[in-house]
Amino acid sequence: MARKSAAPTPGSVLVIGLGRFGGAVADSLVRLGHEVLAIDEDAAIVQSWANRLTHVVQADTTSSDTLKRLGVADFEKVVVGIGTDIEASLMTVLALSELGVPDIWAKALSTKHGRLLERTGAHHVIYPEAAMGERVAHLVTGQMIDFIEFDDGFAIVKTRAPKESLNKTLAESALRSKYGVTVVGVKRPRTDFTYARPETLIQPGDLLIVSGATPLVERFAALE
């Protein structure tokens, strides 16, 4: 049964749907120090999260009247993590939009689902399976340790230093002029992260944090 939620504090986030994706988001937000309030229609799931989040409510979120009674309109940020029920996902985003929630994040199962979410009011659409699949593909096929790509074709990677850069300063190896990427920082085993400078010496075992256009970063990370 729906009941009035506690008033949100500044920086708190509402998560709707505590399945695998929504639960992971809620858990990460808590670890980052944010208050997380959540709604799920499954009583067992609500009970399992009751002691882990600030406030958890069992309710059907497809009704704007229900969301209004729960005080959802007071939240600035809402994450909709509803899984396989596309209709419930769309109806929830529409209800949030009607309430004027200024920042709605929603999980999409497909490109078509994502387009519909945008049309019903989602400000940000996330494709977790597709994003993870692309990330894993990059990590499997190159020297990358980690990979993050942004919407505008810009990427940041953590990769092993290529052989041609070893025992040279960044100025000497001229990686930026050769490959069009920027070495942002260097992580050496058992030492703190350091921001890269022209005089930074690259040694065997160093990991580089590199940024640039995705194709250029991919090419750089493929170097031996």
pLDDT in tens, 135-161: 666 666 666 788 888 867 898 999 999
pLDDT score for 7 = 59
Does the pLDDT of residue 128 top 60, yes or no? yes
In the predicted model, what is the mean pLDDT of residues 23-36?
Answer: 88
In the predicted model, what is the mean pLDDT of residues 67-71?
Answer: 91
Write down the residue that tokens 């703190």 correspond to.
192
CA atoms within 13 A on the CB side of 59: 25
Q: Residue 1: which pLDDT band, with cuts at 50, 70 and 90? A: very low
Does the pLDDT of residue 219 top 80, yes or no? yes
pLDDT score for 41 = 92
pLDDT score for 134 = 66
Q: Using one digit for the tens of pLDDT, what is the confidence trace for 93-106?
A: 999 999 999 999 99
Of residues 171 and 129, more confidence is placed in 171
In the predicted model, what is the mean pLDDT of residues 45-60?
Answer: 92
Rounded to two decimals, the pTM is 0.67
pLDDT score for 147 = 82
Beta strands of 113-200 (E only): which ranges?
Answer: 124-126, 144-149, 154-160, 168-169, 182-187, 194-195
Mean pLDDT score of the chain, rounded to an integer? 88
The strand pair at 168-169 and 201-202 is best described as: antiparallel
CA nearest neighbour of 129 among 110, 152, 154 = 110
Write down the residue that tokens 């058992």 correspond to.
190
In the predicted model, what is the mean pLDDT of residues 178-194?
Answer: 92
Of residues 160 and 5, more confidence is placed in 160
Does the pLDDT of residue 38 top 90, yes or no? yes
